[in-house]
């Protein structure tokens, strides 16, 4: 097998889509598995769609996800530059070579010319039959062409696709694909602004950078035959990389590929990191900011379209590298199911050390300007650990550890708040008020002592007690919660509840 050199080649037109992260991941896994090289190339040949900040965003996203770049933008390498806009002159020489060898030609058609051509021919495309009706170096005399060129008239260079030929290519995922050349149009190779199109730049760079495998989204499959032609005419067929066209990520419901709109609608991120649209200023939430751990996202993404063939589902990056093969990538598009991502997240979150978890809580508290001792944080994390999916849950589901409730769960109030509960809670609070430092066991003993004295079942008032302390109907172990809060606070909260709720009851 030849040296594995793969590239991830996004264009900096905005935030990196989550599907792009998966494409990058598969490239990376292959590179690592075979001790190859992972290259990041920026395909910024469309100056009209260039978005400042997008490149930096891509670099940061990959770094966060744990996808390391060996060569390319940001790190450099032997085939620099890795930004296509900086390689502009290169493409021109290859386009010229194609023209010289009669595999490409100049075309001077205006937008209007093209429009008219499309209108008059059904299923129109610029190809072997229509090109003879157009303004190009195939229909114009050499003199005319030279004249136009010297005057500086705008032109593009188009590939001269043969009329009747079968183009074969072998895709590592889809097997052999055959296309009739008559179905391929004379694609523009060089645009009138002097920039190459994707097709030319991609092929030239993949060749020059000695790319061994082109792993990209399925949307490129239809143009792959064109690329094969380009390799052939440039004389690089022997060095042509192997292709692997990845199945697409589909909407969670309905049909079509996953889009930002679906994500917004269903309430999950579609970008790895927060992305602020430079025009609208609107910020789209990222996986990182939503609380997804990179290892969870990676594990989740890896399984969208690939599986190891065993029943193991939990994989670290190292394990993925070990297990990954292109052969085990599926053919069908994969529906995006955020619930599975959450499950992975919960798993990876729990496997973090207590210190890390405590750090999450402390981070949240810092943002809220709340002080908290290490010991208290440790206790809270211990009791909350089994209940969280995201780092922020420690704070969001445990706010009551820091602020007393101001309102109470209405269901519990209507169902469980009655004279008995008030009786028990009053007695209980008085009991602990004077007692020594509250710990979970004594809280429990005290509560049972009070209820048995009053002849009321503990179970009946427990939810009311929780509600008076936390405001909610469910939460972590109540006795431990009270221990963390301490006598005085518990007493205060119970009395506040009795005071405010009495009005509602009677």
Partner RNA sequence: GGUCUGUUCGUCUAACGGUUAGGACACCAGAUUUUCAUUCUGGUAAUAGGGGUUCGAUUCCCCUACGGACUACCA
**Binders of RNA in range 371-400 (CB under 7 A):** 386-387
Find the shortest distance in angstroms from Cβ 229 to RNA.
Answer: 14
Nearest to 82 by CA among 25, 20, 10, 136: 10
For residues 123-162, which are near RNA according to CB under 7 A?
Answer: 123, 125-126, 154, 156
Q: Which of 280, 339, 353, 369 binds RNA (CB under 7 A)?
A: 339
473 CB contacts (<8 Å, ≥6 apart)?
Answer: 409, 411, 412, 463, 466, 467
For residues 288-307, which are near RNA according to CB under 7 A?
Answer: 303-305, 307
For residues 11-40, which are near RNA according to CB under 7 A?
Answer: 11, 13
Cα distances (angstroms) measured from residue 276 to each of 52, 54, 266, 438: 11, 10, 20, 48
345 touching RNA, by CB under 7 A: no
DSSP state of 4: P
Task: Report helix, strand or coil for 271.
Answer: strand
174 touching RNA, by CB under 7 A: yes
Binding segment for RNA among 118-126, 235-243, 280-288, 494-502 (CB under 7 A)? 118-126
- The residue from 257, 260, 385, 433 that is catalytic is 260
For residues 212-271, which are near RNA according to CB under 7 A?
Answer: 218-223, 247-248, 250, 255-257
For residues 458-497, which are near RNA according to CB under 7 A?
Answer: 458-459, 462-463, 466, 473-479
Find the shortest distance in angstroms from Cβ 369 to RNA.
Answer: 27
Q: Which of 4, 9, 69, 490 binds RNA (CB under 7 A)?
A: 9
Task: Report helix, strand or coil for 257.
Answer: strand
For residues 409-448, which are near RNA according to CB under 7 A?
Answer: 444, 447
Nearest to 476 by CA among 413, 390, 386: 386
Asked, as a colleague might, if the bond just before 81 is cis with ω within 30 of 0, I would say yes
328 touching RNA, by CB under 7 A: yes
Tokens of 260: 């930002």
Q: Is 260 considered catalytic here?
A: yes
Burial class (CB in 10 A: 0-12, 13-18, 19+), 176: exposed
Binding segment for RNA among 134-142, 182-190, 263-271, 286-294 (CB under 7 A)? 182-190
CB 99 within 8 A of CB 157: yes
**5-8/37-40 β-pairing:** parallel
Find the shortest distance in angstroms from Cβ 500 to RNA.
Answer: 21
For residues 41-100, which are near RNA according to CB under 7 A?
Answer: 43, 45-46, 49
**71-72/37-40 β-pairing:** parallel
Residues designated catalytic: 260
């Amino acid at each position: 097998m030849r040296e594995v050199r793969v590239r991830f080649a996004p264009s900096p037109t905005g935030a990196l889509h989550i599907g792009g992260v998966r494409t990058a991941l598969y490239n990376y896994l292959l590179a690592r598995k075979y001790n190859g090289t992972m290259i990041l190339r920026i395909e910024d040949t469309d100056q009209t769609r260039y978005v400042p900040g997008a490149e930096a965003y891509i670099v940061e996203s990959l770094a966060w996800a744990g996808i390391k770049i060996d060569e390319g933008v940001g790190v450099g390498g032997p085939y620099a530059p890795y930004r296509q806009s900086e390689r502009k002159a290169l493409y021109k020489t290859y386009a010229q070579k194609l023209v010289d060898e009669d595999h490409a030609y100049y075309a001077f058609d205006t937008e209007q010319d093209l429009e008219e051509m499309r209108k008059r021919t059904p299923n129109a495309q610029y190809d072997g039959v229509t090109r003879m009706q157009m303004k190009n170096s195939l229909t114009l005399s050499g003199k005319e062409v030279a004249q136009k060129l010297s005057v500086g008239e705008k032109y593009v260079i188009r590939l001269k696709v043969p009329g009747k030929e079968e183009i074969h290519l072998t895709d590592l995922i889809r097997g052999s694909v055959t296309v009739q050349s008559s179905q391929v149009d004379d694609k523009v190779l060089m645009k009138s602004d002097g920039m190459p199109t994707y097709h030319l730049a991609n092929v030239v760079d993949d060749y020059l950078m000695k790319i061994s495998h082109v792993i990209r989204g399925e949307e490129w499959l239809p143009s792959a035959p064109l690329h094969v032609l380009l390799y052939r005419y440039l004389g690089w067929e022997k060095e042509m990389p192997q292709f692997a066209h990845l199945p697409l990520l589909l909407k969670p419901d309905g049909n079509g590929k996953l889009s930002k709109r679906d994500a917004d609608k269903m309430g999950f991120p579609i970008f790895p990191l927060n992305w602020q649209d430079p025009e609208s200023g609107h910020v789209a939430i990222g996986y990182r900011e939503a609380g997804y751990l990179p290892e969870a996202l990676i594990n989740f993404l890896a399984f969208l379209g690939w599986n190891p063939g065993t029943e193991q589902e939990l994989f670290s990056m190292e394990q993925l590298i070990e297990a990954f093969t292109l052969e085990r990538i599926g053919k069908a598009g994969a529906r995006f199911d955020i619930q599975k991502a959450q499950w992975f997240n919960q798993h990876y979150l729990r496997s973090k050390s207590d210190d890390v978890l405590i750090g999450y809580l402390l981070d949240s508290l810092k943002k809220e300007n709340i002080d908290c001792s290490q010991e208290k944080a440790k206790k809270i994390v211990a009791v909350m650990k089994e209940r969280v999916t995201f780092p922020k849950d420690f704070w969001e589901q445990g706010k009551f550890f820091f602020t007393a409730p101001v309102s109470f769960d209405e269901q519990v109030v209507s169902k469980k708040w009655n004279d008995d509960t008030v009786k028990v809670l009053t007695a209980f609070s008085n009991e602990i008020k004077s007692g020594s430092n509250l710990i979970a066991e004594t809280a429990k003993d005290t509560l049972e002592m009070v209820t048995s004295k009053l002849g009321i079942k503990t179970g009946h008032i427990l939810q009311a007690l929780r509600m008076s302390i936390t405001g909610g109907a469910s939460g972590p172990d109540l006795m431990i919660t009270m221990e963390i809060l301490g006598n005085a606070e518990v007493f205060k909260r119970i009395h506040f509840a009795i005071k405010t709720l009495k009005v509602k009851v009677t």
